[in-house]
Amino acid sequence: MASAASPQAKAKKTGKSGPTPMMVQYLALKEQAGDCLLFYRMGDFFELFFEDAKKAAATLDIALTSRGEHEGEPVAMCGVPVHAAEAYLARLIKAGHKVAIAEQTETPAEAKARGSKALVARDIIRFVTAGTLTEDTLLDARADNILAAIAEVRGEIAIASADISSGVFRVETVEAAALDATLARLDPGEILVSPHGPKAQSGWETRPAEDFDSEAARSELTARFGNLDPNFSRAELAALGGILSYLGHVGRGSEAFLTTPERRETQAFLAMDAATRQSLEITASVSGSRTLSLLGTIDRTVTGAGARQLARDLAAPLCAISSITARHDAVAWLYEDALLRDTLIDDLKAIPDIGRALGRIVAGRGSPRDLGQIRDGLNGARLLRERLGETPDLPPLIDGLLPDMSGHGALTDLLDRALIESPPTERSKGGYIATGYDAALDDLRNTSRNARQAIAALEARYRGDTGIDSLKIKHNGVLGYFIEVPPRHADPLMAAESGFTHRQTLANAVRFNAPALHDEALRITEAGGRALLAEEAHFEELTGAVSQPASAIAATADALARIDVTLSHARYAAEHGWARPEMTEGYELTITAGRHPVVEAALAKQGEAFVANGVALDDSERVWLVSGPNMGGKSTFLRQNALIVILAQSGGFVPAASATIGIVDRLFSRVGASDNLARGQSTFMVEMVETAAILNAATERSFVILDEVGRGTSTYDGLALAWAVVEAVHEVNRCRCLFATHYHELTRLAETLDALTLHHVRAREWQGDLVLLHEVASGPADRSYGLSVAKLAGVPQNVLTRAKAILDKLEEGRAATGGLAAGLGDLPLFAAMADAPEPETDALREALEAVDVDALSPREALDRLYALKALLGD
């Protein structure tokens, strides 16, 4: 972490005195903290000073005060309570800050033993950053928290990714052009890059070159994980090393939980760039909401681990038919058995998130509650395995998970014996080791628990010996145990031969000590302290017992998550009538009665039905040119087919009556665009950048949806670009494509492009109003209905009248001269058009034109005939 300009760089003596010892210590720690905010422990608070305090106060909305002076200026200061620090940390991390935690590494008593004026020693014990969180309070239980590192060696780029909250550790090699797309799939919370790697973008952190030394990484990986994949390239080793070096830095010596690094092949997953993911709103809507995304709509998982796995699946659909089919088989198995689904839901709900509990334990941040979660989770996994093992016709995917859910008997037996039923989160107060596990500990606890009776007996004895009935034995945090009597009874106890030692005189009481009380107090205190030490020793023992088979426990967590995801797909498919897709090695995309899952769910909440539409693409009919009015459903139709591909290749059923899908290697969506002011790009530039990415990368196996290419520039430029793009997709890329447009001229391409067919979304005008039918039909749209949509939106009639006149002239001029501007000179001015009467309409003619004779039932035909007769009467 780069060191920023800070007060410690300017620390000088001012006047006759220099910085206080505490400020000297703080400045030294701040030097280590660099650009992180420094949480400096002072008693029950973490304090922040100087610019750190100003930033934290603004982010947390807490009071900013000052403490003394430094170089003649007041020292800005703010603080947060230690017991509530995690809540404040969460807000700071979310706001983009990093935090260094400086804890007291000795007690005030230990400091005093070094000298009466010795300052309590402090050190940075941890850096808290967005990609290295493990605490439940700082994490989203249903989302991964990825740390990524990018390295480049001799032109080869590799990305390593880790989620230390669950142990995931992976690496893959990517092409430079696919770097952004891969990062979009991983969606890391923090990105590290080598100074010799790709140019750092905003938000990336450049780390020292030595962190990415491939040979040093190989040695460290081998020492930590044993046998290492010999196929790791130098770039991959460098990226993995970048992760390990950073984790060592932020953990200050503690070892984060990571499983053996897995090498992933990028081509094994359906490729989607960042623009496509945002356009399709796969895991988050454009506004950032999870609820309105595909993930938020279909997620029926009952565990946090399952939700995270589902998000990973949707972000990285598969390309291998065998793997996809295995997932479909598992979903189909549960789809057919509602009773088993309900039983598994109950079983999974009872299983804690053992993956994240394990991550905290291995990282040295675990609690007794985490140990209890490991115990309960492994026991739950065992019971679930037994249930599934007795179930007939297990699909291969589920059957293959069963070995990962067993083999923990000795560990669970140990944890069952050692822990109470509900261990606490806080371990410093003890009480989490079960009675009967350690006889010596039980004795110590009994001594501590019996303290009241022992003290009461001693109090009765002293009363009898002294004859003072008002004598009491009390306790406070300063004096410990003491004897207290009213002042009128104090004189006999003051005598040297009384056996009592005077400690304190108050207005209403006099306090004493006595040898027997001292011995009893010492015995009680020592027993309590020794009991806490014994529990702490057992905690370390149990932590080691859990850490040793960490990889096996992580495999169990993964198996539970996969079962949860399978169950989620089956539940949603059964509830909404989804179908199992058929996957092929061909180039077809045939979907019957397909629906958009998110839009359908939103309409269902309003009591409305979604209009289903199909598509049929193959090698001989690769491109559909779809026309029709705005708001007619073109964009929804395009997106729903892309989402169906994603759902199918991620292993789920799809919202359709049936679907046959040839494997898609890359998916592109250019539907809508907006200015990217941060990068200095207009809407049209964004549109062209996204279109260029498609034309440069789409293959014959790709699926492309394009909407309104060319609309961001002049009519002729836009039409020319749209024309050329359609030709390129058809002739060069030769991929499956749905192309929506308002350019009616493009329909002429059907005459020259043999694999292009024309389609439109149906609309009708009824009594002067536009009726959008949201149905996709063959053939081109008869017109664009632009003025009708404008009327539907509430554009004033005088503007519509003027526009109609201009449109008529434009069409006349185009027909006569081929020039769009021909004939506009003799149009009356807008002011003159404002008072023009609305054009007369032939209601009967419009009503007849709106009738789809072939679609009417006999009853509907009769009703329509009566309606037409009524119009004739009017």
| Residue 629 is assigned to a ligand binding site | yes
| Residue 632 is assigned to a ligand binding site | yes
User: CATH 3.30.420.110 region(s) of the chain?
Assistant: 140-266
Query: Measuring CA to CA, how many Å separate 516 from each of 454, 460, 483?
Result: 11, 13, 11
Which numeric CATH code is attached to 7-128?
Answer: 3.40.1170.10
- Assess contact for 197 and 156: CB atoms under 8 A: no
Identify the pLDDT of residue 800: 73
How far apart (Å, rounded) are the C-alpha atoms in residues 613 and 762?
12
Identify the pLDDT of residue 831: 45
CATH class of 441-529: mainly alpha
Report CA 687 to chain centroid distance, whole Å: 28
Which residue bears the tokens 């804690």? 352
User: CATH 1.10.1420.10 region(s) of the chain?
Assistant: 441-529
Which residue bears the tokens 């009390």? 474
Helices (H), 659-737: 683-697, 715-728
Which residue bears the tokens 């400020």? 23
Pick the CATH number of 140-266 from 3.30.420.110, 3.40.718.10, 3.20.20.140, 3.40.50.720: 3.30.420.110
Structure tokens that stand for 100 in this block: 């260094």
Pick the CATH number of 582-795 from 3.40.50.740, 3.30.70.3270, 3.40.50.2000, 3.40.50.300: 3.40.50.300
Report CA 100 to chain centroid distance, whole Å: 23
Report CA 642 to chain centroid distance, whole Å: 22
Could you tell me which residues are beta bridge partners of residue 660?
A: 582, 590
In sequence order, the 6+-apart residues with CB closer than 8 A to the CB of 667 are 270, 271, 272, 276, 642, 645, 646, 702, 703, 704
| Residue 199 is assigned to a ligand binding site | no
Identify the pLDDT of residue 824: 43
User: What residues of the chain score a pLDDT lower than 70?
Assistant: 1-18, 631-632, 672-682, 714, 765-773, 782-790, 792-793, 810-811, 813-847, 849-850, 854, 870-874
Identify the pLDDT of residue 19: 79
Which residue bears the tokens 């027997």? 516
- Assess contact for 104 and 46: CB atoms under 8 A: no
Could you tell me which residues are beta bridge partners of residue 124?
A: 102
User: CATH 3.40.50.300 region(s) of the chain?
Assistant: 582-795
| Residue 628 is assigned to a ligand binding site | yes
Identify the pLDDT of residue 529: 85
Burial class of residue 437 (count of CB atoms within 10 Å of its CB; 0-12, 13-18, 19+): middle
| Residue 631 is assigned to a ligand binding site | yes
| Residue 635 is assigned to a ligand binding site | yes
SS3 849: helix
Amino acid at 866: Y
SS3 642: helix
Burial class of residue 303 (count of CB atoms within 10 Å of its CB; 0-12, 13-18, 19+): buried
Query: Measuring CA to CA, how many Å separate 550 from each of 353, 507, 766, 802?
Result: 14, 62, 68, 74
Structure tokens that stand for 720 in this block: 């020319």
User: CATH 3.40.1170.10 region(s) of the chain?
Assistant: 7-128
| Residue 467 is assigned to a ligand binding site | no
Identify the pLDDT of residue 796: 83
Query: Measuring CA to CA, how many Å separate 633 from each of 578, 759, 776?
Result: 21, 13, 9
Amino acid at 702: S
How far apart (Å, rounded) are the C-alpha atoms in residues 641 and 626?
13
Return the exposure string of 637-662: e unless at least 16 CB atoms fall within 10 Å of the residue's CB, then b: bbbbbbbbbbbbbbbbbbbbeebbbb
Concatenate the DSSP letters of all residues of 328-381 into one string.
HHHHHHHHT-HHHHHHHHHHHHTS--HHHHHHHHHTT---HHHHHHHHHHHHHH
Nearest one of 415, 354, 401 to 165, comparing CA atoms: 354
- At residue 321's C-alpha, the angle toward residues 612 and 668, to 5°, is 55
Look over the chain and give the mean of its residue pLDDT values, rounded to a whole number.
88
The Cβ of residue 515 has, within 10 Å, a number of other Cβ atoms equal to 10
| CA pseudo-torsion sign 807, 808, 810, 811 | positive
| Residue 634 is assigned to a ligand binding site | yes
Query: Measuring CA to CA, how many Å separate 407 from each of 37, 258, 305, 544?
Result: 44, 20, 21, 17
Q: SS3 string of 781-818?
A: CCCCCHHHHHHHHCCCHHHHHHHHHHHHHHHHHHHHHC
Task: Provide φ and ψ at 788, rounded to 5°.
Answer: -65, -40
